[in-house]
Structure 1
Amino acid sequence: MAEAQASPAPTQSAGVTEETALASRMSGVQRAAIFLLSLGESEAAEVLRHMGPKEVQRVGAAMASMDNVNRNQVTSVLKFFIEIVRNETGLGVGADGYIRKMLTQALGEDKASGLIDRILLGGNTTGLDTLKWMEPRGVADVIRYEHPQIQAIVVAYLDPDQSAEILSYFAPKVRLDIMLRVAGLTTVQPAALQELNDILERQFSGSGTTKTTSMGGVKRVADIMNYVEGSIEAPLMESIKQVDDDLGTQIEDLMFVFDNLADVDDRGIQSLLREVSSDVLIIALKGADETVKEKIFKNMSKRAAELLRDDLEAKGPVRISEVETAQKEILTIARRMAEAGEIALGKGGEEMV
């Protein structure tokens, strides 16, 4: 396996010993991937069964990227998990085409097919939930010729990051229409939602029932906008404001952006830094506000902060698109950690840098 990148963590996790130092320098996803690779096929499948689509995708991608995991890495990760598991209520990590490709490559198509079905299509997958396992482009194709209100329901139902990418495959006018409908969507009649679910179940051969009828709203639009690419976000927000300026302001007030990291408490920043690679952090900080930079430096060891400052100075000009990509990667990690209750996020609101 390629040498794991060390995150510029200010302190080691509680209980981490010399034997687990190697594991402590890995990201949580890397540790989870190595842990699952050390298990048998059935045991790993059982663990994956309890994860959501995004979790399986992230872990599956990490597993697929590992070629030669040596004994020291496995030993360090196992000891790391043993040492921290006493203080954990559960273990969790993020899932779609990556896991399918990885399992097929590792086990062969025939052997992997049954395992893939158990992981990806087993359990209580409903017609709507099946969309969570699809590539965003595929979902866009499925709903492209549906009524705009159906498109809005699907976009509101799926995870914000997946919905954001789905929107990128539609024309600007369609994106605007969908987002305005999502903003005005608060509840869906159970019969209508069940009918949509049944149609999708027949198409994907899923099973189960749909109970969720409350979805959408301004907050949902803000969550989706948090994941939309910068080149799409700005014109889309401008279009929303042209239709309803108050609505646009409400959405902006609910969005959490990179500069809002300055409002996260020190413990949360320290936890976040342990999950972010040095390379991504350097690029993200190239376009960051000084307040955010100082917040980061403050929550690192003196030596790590000095090294990061030197790396920032040595780094040449970076395209704004690269900065936005790096910042969104960090924000994605932050939101995942917030959803897991690991950190608390405050309220948020091609040149070279």
Structure 2
Amino acid sequence: MSDPKRAAMAYGRFGKTEKPGKEGNVEKDKEQSPSDESSSLRGFLKKGIAGNPYRKAAKLLLLLGKEQAARILAHFSTDEIEKITREIAGIKRIDKEEAKLLFDQFGKAEDKAKAVSGGVEVARSMLEKAFGRDKGDALLEKVIPFGGEKPFSFLEEIESQQIFLLLRRESAAVIAIVLSFLSRKKSGEIVKMLSPSLQVETVRRLARMERVSPSVVASIEMKLQERLHAQGRVVTEEVDGQAVLASILKQMNFREGERILDTLGEGDVVLKEQISKRLFTVDDLLRISDRDMQRVLRDFEDREIALLMTEQNDEVKEKLFSCISDRRKLFVQSELEILGPLRRDEVDKARNNFLAYVRGLVERGEIVLSDDHNPLI
């Protein structure tokens, strides 16, 4: 008889006694002494039970109650105990109907059937009653590491930036352990924040990691929880740094803003160009005097002006129309009517070209922008 069947059928004759001369007939619920229970476990195992044998054994033990289950569990082999314990921990609930079927199948009185629950703590209690706290906990830890809870789960609710702040002074070994339990997305975000040398070492340790001691994991988890509690939860928002800088520069004197941009451009030309585009927007056209705007518009074709007006607010359109003659206004309106569907890149290109041209005139001092401190007269 194979061990798996024995695990499921260990109760094959437990709680059953055969009447003399009537082999196979079962008398239900006759009490047995501990020695009888031991004999029952070593007896002939019942055949023909379908499904996972360890799961059926686990369900039966749950139905019998912790005290009785603990006595029975002690007679299984270590391998069988581990497999049954894993099943007990994974069983959420056995309803009354299923309990009746199981009791009937194993020869117990159905009127004693009732709904029961399983779970990690129930498995822990059974093991402790059967083998004592130390051995019971050791068996459970081997079968269900970390008590069935995913380590560092509290970090999943925290932003990656704060996790990085918690880990930045840790070694690559500790960081690798923590990242191995986090989601791939969050781990990837944190790795990007590490210094190049720490990235390489952390990734190397992750690749070579096989098994981590639960006690080590528990120690790191407790340390991070204490540090998080002391640090306080930091809630951050995504910030568009370039937009913020452009907004600040707009509030400054134009020449001072230019000086800051020029200094920035000495180290990063591309960044300067990106901020310059944000620094001067379509709304800034409203800060140009009508006379200067008339001069600017004379350098552009009617179609280019029509493209510039596309998707603009009424205030900008009114500003542009007010700075061209009535005759040219008709031509621009005609262009607007015949433009039809336009590609986004075509509209963006027309707008950017116009703004770049105007900004060049401003930088050279050929036209002036008004501001709250120095309005145009």
* TM, length-normalised to structure 1: 0.29
Larger Cα-atom Rg: 2
Task: Between the two structures, name the one with larger relative contact order (CA 8 Å, sep ≥ 6).
Answer: 1
